[in-house]
Structure 1
Amino acid sequence: MKFKVLGSGAGIPSRTRNTQSFVLDVVEEINQYFLIDASEALQHRILDTTIRPSKIRHIFITHLHGDHIFGLPGFLSSRAHQGGEGIPLVVHGPKGLEEWVEATFRTSSSHLNYPIQFNEVGHGDAFDVEGFTVTVRLLDHAIDSFLYVFEEPDKPGALKSEKLRDIGIRPGPVYKEIKSSDTFEHEGIIYETADFLNAPSDGRKIAVHGDTRVIRDKEYLALLDGADLIVHEATYLHGEQEKAHLYFHSEIDDVLMNLSQISYCQLLFSHISNRYDAEMVQQVEGQLAENIRIAHDFLEITIPRDSR
């Protein structure tokens, strides 16, 4: 599993940062990508990667500000001609998203050659997406903005083949039958399958924020606790907590202080204001712990199993 940054900037693009779009690469797990937000020029960003639009079957929009959605109509149109014909797509997002997309397509006389479904999300929603549990949390922004928490199912432990051989069962199709059952019989003896399995691997948890002020309540922090990767905005890098709060955004030190109450494996800051040049960003990142990074366009983060 990998997390890919297609755009890491806030508000308007700069020469070095496009506005926010991410891809959760679960090709190894389910042969798909999850697209999170769709900034302007998304189509061009994808052309600079190996991502196949036809393998994007689910899109998650955090909120309806333009820097997070202006690339969506173009992507939907181009997907129709990049292997997406007949392949369904689900777009998850706030109320009003479907109306905006339909109005854009209607006025531009655009048409799709694949079915599209809209799933309107709200605070507290939890639903299944291709075996992943997705939980939605309302954030604190000028308009409704959401956090998406993606939780992978636990992976069953591998069979202890040596232990099976010890009782006289040689490798073959029977191993698959044993693993899929609670008990199995061999030479008149009934065995518990669990006794022949290694411990399961915990499913991974990835939490991706839309724009937000820092949120301090316990329920929110509990939702993030134990995450393998947290992606949080840091429109303001240092010493501007009051300004960040005034404009419904976050400041990096305030976020770090808040998240110090929970455990997580990796933390990625994105949605960086274009007021900060590369030298300043590098200086700030140099002061962070090794598991905390500031996003840049085309950054790719691997999220290994059993990283907690």
Structure 2
Amino acid sequence: MKFTVLGSGAGLPSKDRNTQSFVIDCVLEYNEYILIDAGEALQHRILHTHIKPSKIKNIFITHLHGDHIFGLPGFLSSRAFQGGEGIPLKIYGPRGLREWLETTFRISESTLNYPLEIIEVEAHMKIRLNNFDVHVLPLSHGIESFGYIFKEDDKIGELQTDKLREIGLKPGPVYGEIKSAETFTVDNTVYKSADFIGETIRGRKITVHGDTRLNSDEEYLNLIRNSDLVVHEATFLKNEREKAHDYFHSEVNHVLDIFKDINYKELLIVHISSRYTDEDIKEVSALLEGRAVIAYDYFELPIPRNVK
């Protein structure tokens, strides 16, 4: 599994940063890509990757500002001609998403050749997707804005076949049965299956925020605590906390202060204002000292499984 940034910029795109779109690549695990937000020119960005639109089967929209949705109608239309025929697609997002898309398709006389389901979400809604529980996280951004916490199911540990051979059990179908049974018998001796199974492999946890002011509420921090990856905006990079708050956005140093005790593995900073130069980014990145990474377009981050 890996996380890919197709657009790392804020509302106004630049030559180097497109507006926001992300992909969780879980093709190896679940044969699909999960798209989060759909900035303008999304379908053009995808052309520079190995991502197949037909394998995008679920889309999550954080909020309805244009820099997060203007690429959606074009992508949906193109998907119909890029192997997507007959392959269902679900879109999750705030209230108003259905009306906007239906109006867009009606006025442009666009049609799709695959089933499309639009699900308008609410705060703290729970969604079951593949082997993920998805939690809808309310944010503060002037208009309704959400984050999404993707928590993968834990996976039973590996069967320790060397230990099974030591007790005289040869490889065969019984090996598979042991993992789903509490006990098994060899030569009239009863064994506990758990004694022959390795440590549980912890499911990955990915927290992706839409645009938001920072939140220091303990309930919120507990929800995102122990994430393998936290993706958070920092439209402001240079100690402009008050200005960021006034504009319903976040500032990078404030993000680090708020998150210093939540035990995340990776913190990815996105939604970077176009007013910052490459030199500004280098300067701020040096000050982060490994606590976070400022994303750039086509940035990729592997997200491995973890043993408990």
TM-score by length of 1: 0.98
Deviation at 1:134, TM superposition (A): 0.3
- SS of the residue aligned with 2:54? helix
Q: Deviations over 1:245-282 (max 9, x none)?
A: 11100011111111113111000000000000111101
Tell me what 1:122 maps to.
122
Instruction: Tell whether the 8 Å contact from 2:200 to 2:307 is kept in structure 1 after alignment.
Output: no
CA distance in 2, matches of 1:118, 1:304: 31
Residue pairs, 1:142-161, within 5 angstroms: 142-161=142-161
Listed as ranges, the gaps of 5+ residues in structure 1 are: none
Aligned-partner Cα distance in 2 for 1:261–1:195: 35
Q: What amino acid does structure 2 have at the position aligned with 1:101?
A: L
Equivalent residues of 2:266, 2:292 under 8 A apart: yes
- In 1, Cα distance between the equivalents of 2:227 and 2:199? 20
Cα deviation for residue 287 of structure 1 reads 1.4
Question: Structure 1 residue 194: deviation in Å?
Answer: 0.9
* Deviation of the 1:290 alpha carbon: 2.0
- What is aligned with 1:201? 201
Structure 1 residue 224, shift from structure 2 partner: 1.1
- Pair 1:31 & 2:39 matched: no
SS in 2 for 1:301: strand
Match of 1:104 in 2: 104
What is the distance in 1 between the residues matched to 2:191 and 2:208?
43
Query: AA paired with 1:103?
Result: T
How far did residue 289 of structure 1 move?
2.7
2:233 corresponds in structure 1 to 233
Partner of residue 296, structure 1: 296
DSSP-derived class of the 2:164 partner: helix
Distance across 2 between alignment mates of 1:187 and 1:115: 55
Partner SS for 1:264: coil
Structure 1 residue 307, shift from structure 2 partner: 8.1
2:10 equivalent to 1:7: no
SS of corresponding position for 1:54: helix
| Residue in structure 2 matched with residue 262 of structure 1 by the alignment | 262
Distance 2:285 2:113 in 1: 45
CA drift of 1:286 comes to 1.3
1:301, 1:72 → 2: CA distance?
Answer: 24
Cα distance between partner residues in 2 of 1:31 and 1:289: 36
In structure 1, distance between residues paired with 2:103 and 2:62: 20
Distance 2:8 2:96 in 1: 24
Q: More displaced, 208-217 or 173-182? A: 173-182
Instruction: Answer yes or no: is 1:176 the counterpart of 2:206.
Output: no
CA 192–307 in structure 1, closer or farther in 2 if over 3 Å, else same: closer
Cα distance in 2 between the residues matched to 1:259 and 1:186 = 51
1:81 aligns with 2:48: no
- Ranges in structure 2 where 5+ consecutive residues have no aligned partner: none
The whole-number CA distance in structure 2 between the counterparts of 1:306 and 1:224 is 17
Distance in 1 of aligned mates of 2:247 and 2:44: 30
1:57-96, aligned counterparts within 5 Å?
A: 57-96=57-96
* Maintained 8 Å contact 1:138/1:147: yes
Q: How many residues align?
A: 308
1:162 equivalent in structure 2: 162
Per-residue CA deviation, residues 163-208 of structure 1 (Å, 9 max, x unaligned), is: 1101111122221122222222222333221111001111110000
Give a deviation string over 1:82-104, Cα, whole Å, max 9, x none: 11111111101101101111110
Corresponding letter in the other structure for 2:216: R
Q: Identity across aligned pairs (percent)? A: 58
| Alpha-carbon distance in 2 for matches of 1:221, 1:176 | 39
**RMSD value, Cα:** 1.2
Cross-structure match for 2:250: 250
Q: Is contact 1:265-1:291 (8 Å) kept? A: no
Residue 306 of structure 1 and its aligned partner are, at CA, apart by: 1.8
Corresponding position of 2:186: 186
Q: Give SS of 2:199's match.
A: coil
Q: Which amino acid aligns with 1:187?
A: D
Looking at structure 2, the residues matched to 291 and 244 of structure 1 have their Cα atoms a distance apart, in angstroms, of 21
Deviation per CA, 1:205-253: give whole Å up to 9, x if none. Answer: 0000000001110011001110100000000001211111111000111
Q: 1:173 to 1:291 in 2, by over 3 A?
A: farther
Deviation of the 1:291 alpha carbon = 4.6
TM-score normalised according to structure 2 size = 0.98
